Amino acid sequence: MSELTLTSANFDQSVNAGGKPVLVDFWAPWCGPCKVMGPIIEQLAGEMTDVTMAKLNVDEHPQMAQRYNVLSIPTFIVFKGGQPVDQFSGTMTKDAFKARLQKHL
């Protein structure tokens, strides 16, 4: 599965859709750690079909980052039923990232 690209317009609908957890990657194109995590998230999007992977560019949609108190990037928020249930920031290995997501399945 490919990643969803979120905007301010489709954010709420996207994190509520489908009945499965949604991981939102709050990122920016200039962010070095975001570039490290990008390929890991893309790989997991293909492997973990029971989680929807989504990205939100904080430069293009700063109000969404502010809404969820995103103070550093990359920040990842897991939503279930439209509500945030986990939030973490920074880089990690693919295995650690996957284990963090599996807690919400």
Q: In the chain, where are the structural domains located?
A: 4-102
Backbone angles phi, psi at 44, to 5 degrees: -65, -30
Q: How many CB atoms lie within 10 A of CB 6?
A: 23
Note if the pTM is more than 0.85: yes
| CB 43, CB 92: distance < 8 Å | no
Question: Angle, nearest 10°, between helix axes 94-102 and 32-47?
Answer: 60
Residues facing residue 75 across a β-bridge:
26, 89
Q: Which tokens go with 3?
A: 């990643």
Mean pLDDT per 10-residue section of the chain, whose length is 105 residues: 83 88 97 96 94 96 97 97 96 97 95
| CB 90, CB 40: distance < 8 Å | no
Active site residues: 31, 34
Q: Which amino acid is at 15?
A: V
Would you state the pLDDT for residue 47? 94
40: which DSSP letter? H
What is the CATH class of 4-102?
alpha beta
